[in-house]
A = this chain, B = another copy of it.
Amino acid sequence: MVDDTSQTINLSAPVLEKLEAGSRPFSILIQKLAGIVGKTGILYNADELLVYECDGYIVDKSAPDIVVFPTTTEQVSATVKLCNEFNVPFLARGAGTSLSGGCLPIGGGVMIVLTRMKQILELNLRDRYAIVEPGMVNLHLTNALKGTGYHYAPDPSSQGSCTIGGNIATNSGGPHTLKYGVTTNHVLGLEAVLPDGTIVELGGPTAEVPGYDLHGVYVGNEGTFGICTKAIVRLTRDPEAHRTMLAVFQTIGDATRAISEIIAEGIIPSALEMMDHGIIQAVEEAFHFGFPLDAGAVLLIEVDGLEVALDAEVSKILEICNKNNVREIQRADTPEERMLIWKSRKQAFGAIGRLSPSYCTQDGVVPRTRLPEILEFIEQTSEKYGLRIVNVFHAGDGNVHPILLFDERDQGQIQLVLEASEEILEKCLELGGSVTGEHGIGVEKINFMSRIFNETDLATMEKVRNIFNPRQICSRDKVLPQHTSENSPKVVQAHPARRAPH
């Protein structure tokens, strides 16, 4: 415990400024936080805070005033209670891979970074669950399970860096969502620190828990219901075998028809990913996989299950691809070849990094059968705004990810990206889809909420949020348009919210 940090902690200029101007004794908050997490568990110098001023949604920025790194649930709870006492907004952050500004600290305040809480607390293979801390990197759990015959099924593209806590906050999907479902299908229960600091347990390792489905509604709350500090996640048996194929099509239309027919046939591939012409060129430039540069679309198709069943499924898939004018099909015959095929998909984002200083990965959903229309619209939008847009996405569930290339140093380009994104998302709605498949609303899409939902819907959601987060002090300005309320805290306006204009 640090009793008097005025001697040991050098206050930074911005914090000192606030001390002068503000109504809140910031130095005492820092001192008390250091008392909770230790001196090595806190940052408050402006240059150090810069790292935390944005997440994967780089078009909007807002730095926190203080960052803490708790190592226990009790530290999280004590931090949250202190923020309440000081009436300072706070929010959690895992790896900061959110693509919708989910961990953008609007209005500043305290950021609670969970990356030091990354242990597996229990592995129970017999009953098929693991209890993990929220800062555990998604892939690290699956790596820890290697050799046991089990894995953790949700696998976002960022699984090498994103955390389980962040996955729970956004109800993340991934390439294997089509067959295995999204995060909520794999969370059996959780421990959370509510926005007032209370520690609660929701759900549990037994699949069926009586009463209302509180852990179900908790998943996907985008940080607005408090901070998940432990997760009980379902483990999935490794499939006995895989068959992985890359199918090269001349046109998006052919590829889309093949997808619809594969699914209509009753086959649920474990993954069905599409890369369009633009991304094929980018991946090819970067990694030389040997894709034909004039191809319209490449499908990565994977089926898994019992060895004995797979060849029949592959035959049907090949037949359907042939019927839809496939140009060529590569099949992985060894685990190494499978990894190489997956590398072309998983490294697509790396390839984009070579094309452009910045990119914005959008997230929309359309009914599977409307994929050609939305892709054509994206191409028109690209031309209209003079922005290069490439596409790599989960075609099986109609979840498109147009990637808009730009230079974030140019404010004009940021504006174009925001406008083009909005037009594409509007079109998704028009085609009967949705403005987010898996990235969440965050701060990015908050203004879409009132276009998707009516007032009763939004009021009900607000009431649900207010159960957990009545003061709206936790993860402010996320998911729902903010309503001014007598309960809202007077926030520390260190960094006035620079909100996306859409």
Contact = CB atoms under 8 A, between A and B. Distances in A.
A206 B399 contact: no
A21 interface: no
B210 A456 contact: no
Contacts of A210: 434-436, 440-441, 445, 448-449, 452
A336 interface: no
A397 interface: yes
Interface residues of A, number: 69
Contacts of A437: 208
Interface string A182-223: 101100000000000010111000111111111011011100
Given A221-B212, A461-B214, A397 B198 contact: no
Interface in A434-454: 434-438, 440-441, 445, 448-449, 452-453
Contact of A212 (B238, B308, B464): B464
A490 interface: no
A366 B222 CA distance: 33
Contact of A397 (B207, B367, B397, B460): B207
A34 B198 CA distance: 49
A419 interface: no
A453 B211 CA distance: 9
A217 B213 contact: yes
B441 A211 contact: yes
A442 to B, nearest CB: 10
A182 B185 CA distance: 11
Q: Kindly report how many copies of this chain are found in the complex they form together.
A: 2
Nearest to A369: B126
A207 B437 CA distance: 9
A188 to B, nearest CB: 12
Contacts of A461: 211-212, 214
Interface string A456-472: 11001101110110000
Which residue among A240, A264, A460, A468 has the maximum number of chain B CB atoms within 10 Å of its CB? A460
A149 interface: yes
A208 B460 contact: no
A460 B216 contact: no
Interface in A214-266: 214, 216-217, 219-221, 237-238, 240, 264, 266
Interface in A308-334: 308-309, 311-313
Contact of A465 (B212, B308, B309): B212
A432 interface: yes
A127 B445 CA distance: 26
B465 A464 contact: no
A238 B463 CA distance: 40
A110 B463 CA distance: 28
A310 B452 CA distance: 45
A479 B434 contact: no
A365 interface: yes
A305 interface: yes
A158 B290 CA distance: 57
A368 to B, nearest CB: 8
Contacts of A367: 127, 206
B214 A216 contact: no
Given A210-B434, A221-B212, A467 B467 contact: yes
Given A126-B369, A309-B306, A365-B206, A240 B213 contact: no
Interface string A251-290: 0000000000000101000000000000000000000000
A457 B208 contact: no
Contacts of A445: 210
Interface string A166-189: 000001010000000010110000
Contacts of A460: 200, 214, 467-468
A238 B200 CA distance: 41
5 contacts: A149-B266, A206-B433, A207-B397, A210-B435, A216-B217
The 8 A-B residue pairs with the shortest CB-CB distance in the complex, in nearest-first order:
A309-B309, A217-B217, A463-B467, A237-B266, A308-B312, A216-B216, A306-B309, A208-B437
Given A211-B452, A213-B220, A238-B266, 5 more contacts: A184-B216, A210-B445, A211-B453, A217-B217, A467-B467
